[in-house]
Amino acid sequence: MQRKSFDDMPCPIARSLARVGEWWSMLILRDALHGMRRFDEFQQSLGIAPNMLTRRLNSLVEAGLLARRRYSEHPPRDEYVPTQRGRDFRPVLIALLAWGNKHFAPEGASVQIVDSKTGAPIEPIMVDAATRRPIAAPDYVFAAGPAAPERTRQRYARYPQQPGPAPSPPAKPASANRKSRSR
């Protein structure tokens, strides 16, 4: 079964997923942004099969996220360095790291972002470049952009975002609260 291509969809999220939506791609970019450059470094870090690593590296080079540079002629060997497009992906990885630590790390953070001068852990947030305000609902919502086709305009008009506070968990019956306190 062939995967659907998102390249022609007008949604920037879909187009981005077409380039980096495969999990190996994001992990390779993570390692490249951490300073790994060579095939054997990626393979050792990820435990990925060589044929899969080759496909993913080629795909990331084709998407303009990594650049291939020859470092040895005999035998021919290449290294892979993040392009500006690849370096621009760093905030996405930081957002995934923070989200994963918040929701999927019951044992605590195994990786965190720290201030390089003080070593103090930081909590990343996304802010509007103009106002420096955190980008959070309900102050900021998705909307059709100037290049949006009619279908996209209709989607955002039909489903206006009106986020409110997260729903509260169902209340426990009063008898359940008494039982837990009496123990």
Q: What is the pLDDT of residue 167?
A: 46
pLDDT tens for each residue of 19-76: 777 889 999 999 999 999 999 999 999 999 999 999 999 999 999 999 999 999 999 9
C-beta contacts of 60-69 below 8 A and 24+ residues apart:
60/19, 60/20, 60/25, 60/28, 60/29, 60/86, 63/19, 63/20, 65/19, 65/20, 65/29, 65/89, 66/28, 66/29, 66/32
Mean pLDDT over 160-183 rounds to 48
Q: What is the pLDDT of residue 20?
A: 76
Specify the pTM: 0.76
Q: Which residues have a Cβ under 8 Å from the Cβ of 42 and sit 6 or more positions away?
A: 28, 31, 32, 36, 48, 53, 57, 80
Q: Of 143, 169, 134, 133, whose CA–CA distance to 12 is shortest?
A: 143
Q: Which domains does the chain have, with CATH numbers?
A: 12-87 (1.10.10.10)
Q: Say whether pLDDT at 173 is over 50.
A: no
